[in-house]
A and B are shown apart, each in its own frame.
Chain A
Amino acid sequence: MKRSAIIIFSAILTIGNLAVFWSVRERYSPIDLYKHKNHLLEKKIAALELQRQLDAEQEEQFQQEVAAALPQALQKVTQKNKDYALRNLASVVMRPQKDKLYDLVAKSVFESGKALFRKGEYVQANRLFQKVIDRYGFSTQVIEAHFLLAEGLYQTGELDRTTQVIDQMVELFPDSELTGFALLRLGQIFETRDRFDEAVQIYRMVSRIFPYRSVASQAEKNLRGMEP
C-alpha cells in the first residue's frame, strides 16, 4: 500500500515536472524564435527569387518586342551614319540579318578594292583585298580577292608574295577557274626568272587539269609563245 502510494506520487511528480517543463520551455528556449526567423528569411528569399524571375521575363519580353518591331524600323534605314545605332542593334538581335550585313560589308570592301585596281592603284587595292581575305574569309568574294591580290602584287613587282598567294589559292580553291589563271601568272613569273622548264611544266599542268576551255587555251597559247 505504502509502496504503491510512493509510485503514484512519483508518477504524478514526474508528469507535473514534465508539464512545467513544457509550459516554460517556449519562454526560455530560443528554438522557436529561430524557426520563426528562418521562416521569415525563407519567405524573403522566395520573394526575391520570384522578383528575379519576373525581371528575367521582362527582359525577354523586351527582346522579343524589339525583334518584332525591328524589321519595320529597318525598312526606313538609309545608309547614313546616324542610323548606325539601329543597324548595330539589328546585328545583335537578328542573326540572319547579321549574316546579310557581313556579306554586305565584305562586298563593299571588295568592290572598293576592285575600283582601285582598275585605276592602277595597286598598293591600296592590295590592302583591301587582303582585308577581305583576313576579315571576311567566308564571304563569296574571297576567291576573287585572292586572285586580284595575286595580280596586284605581280603588278607592284612583289613576285615572292604573288607566288605565296597563288600557292594559297591552289591549296584552298583547287577547282576554281581563277586558280587556273593564277597558275598561268605563276608560269609567267617563272619565265621572268628564267626558270623556263618550270614555266612549261605549269602551263602543261594547267591545260591538262583545269576543265575550263578559257584557262586551257590560254595555257596552250603561253606554251606556244615559249617555243623558239
Chain B
Amino acid sequence: MSWRLLILYLLFTIEIRVHASQVQLPDNCHAGTSGCTIWYRQAKPRFTWFDKAVAVSNGSIVSWVDANNLRLIKGSVGLDLQEGQRLSTILGEITGQGWLVVERLSKKTRVSCFSGQMSLLPLGFKDPLVLSAGFFVDISSVQEDGLAFVEIPQLLSLPSALTFWWQHYRDGKDKFLVQAKEFLAGANLRAETAGQWQETLANRYIASVWEQRRLAAERKLRAEAEGKKMRALFRKMNYLDE
C-alpha cells in the first residue's frame, strides 16, 4: 500500500515538472498552432515543426503567427529551414533553405547560417539580403533612415561555430557529423570571400574618409565666407569703423 502511494506521489511530482517546463498562451496550446506562444523552461528543449526537430534554448519564447511562420520573441532557435517556412523576429523576416540559428540578443538579432542560403528582409528594407553558409549577421534597431541597421556579414569562427551549432542540433550525432564535414570543406573558400569583402570595405572606408575631408574643407570655406559677411555687415552699420 505504502509503495503504491509512494509511486503515485512520484508520478504526481513528475507530472508537475512536465507541466511547469512549458508555459503556453493560450493555455494548453500546441507547437505549430496558429496564435500559440510557448515559453520553454527546461534543459535542451525541442519541438517539431514541419516534421523536423527545432532546437530552442532554455528560456526561449516562440510564437506561431501562422502554421508556416514562426516568430522568435526571446532566446534562440536553431532549425533546418525549408521552403515555405518563415522565421521572423521584431527586426525582420528570414526565409530560405538550410541550417540556421537565430538569437535574440539584448540589443540586436544575430542570424548565423550553417548550410544553404538565407534570404533576410530586415525591417524597412524593400529588397531582401542574402546570407550564405558560414556567415553571421547582426541586425539592430531601426535608424533615422527608417531601416533596421544591418552590419556587414562576418565569418563564423570555426571551433566555436561548430560547438554552437551542435548545441542547437537535435537530429542526432551521425547527421551532424555529415553536415559538419560539409561545413568544414567550404571553410577555405569562405575565408577567401570574407577577405575580399574586407578589402573592398577598407577601400570604401578610405574613399569615404577622403570625401569627409573634402566636405569638411567646403564647410570651413563656407563658414569663413559667413564670417566675412558678418564683418561687412558691422562695418556697413558703422559700429567699428568710427
Contact = CB atoms under 8 A, between A and B. Distances in A.
Contacts of B239: 151, 185
A218 interface: yes
Nearest to B63: A54
B58 to A, nearest CB: 14
Interface residues of A, number: 42
Contacts of B90: 57, 60-61, 64
A64 B20 contact: no
A68 B20 contact: no
Nearest to B41: A46
Interface stretch (A69-77, A81-89, A128-136): A69-77
Contact of B146 (A49, A72, A95): A72
B146 A181 contact: no
A18 B123 contact: no
B74 interface: yes
A223 B206 CA distance: 51
The listed residue with most B CB atoms (<10 A of its CB), out of A18, A57, A95, A178, is: A57
* Chief secondary structure at chain A's binding surface: helix
Contact of A68 (B73, B142, B233): B142
A150 to B, nearest CB: 11
B25 to A, nearest CB: 6
Contacts of A69: 146
B51 interface: no
B201 to A, nearest CB: 23
B144 A46 contact: no
B5 A46 contact: no
Contacts of A4: none
A68 B144 contact: no
Nearest to B39: A50
Nearest to A46: B23
Nearest to A20: B1
Interface residues on B, range: 35 or more
A77 to B, nearest CB: 14
B240 A181 contact: yes
Given A53-B61, A57-B73, A68-B147, A19 B2 contact: yes
A53 B143 CA distance: 24
B57 interface: no
A67 B147 CA distance: 8
Contacts of A54: 25, 37, 61, 63, 73
A164 interface: no
B146 A47 contact: no
Contacts of B91: 64
Nearest to A19: B1
B27 interface: yes
B19 interface: yes
A53 to B, nearest CB: 6
A22 interface: yes
Nearest to B71: A57
B127 interface: no
B177 interface: no
A50 B61 contact: yes
Interface string B139-158: 00111111110000000000
A127 interface: no
A65 interface: yes
A184 B39 contact: no
A71 B27 contact: no
Contacts of A43: 19-20, 23
B144 A71 contact: yes
Given A39-B16, A42-B20, A218-B240, A22 B1 contact: yes
Given A53-B39, A53-B73, 16 more contacts: A39-B20, A42-B20, A46-B23, A47-B23, A47-B25, A54-B63, A54-B73, A64-B91, A67-B146, A68-B123, A71-B145, A72-B146, A96-B143, A96-B144, A185-B239, A188-B242
Q: Which 3 A-B pairs have the closest CB atoms?
A: A71-B146, A67-B142, A68-B124
Interface of B: 1-2, 5, 16, 19-20, 23, 25, 27, 37, 39, 41, 61, 63, 73-74, 90-91, 123-124, 141-148, 227, 230-231, 233-234, 237, 239-242
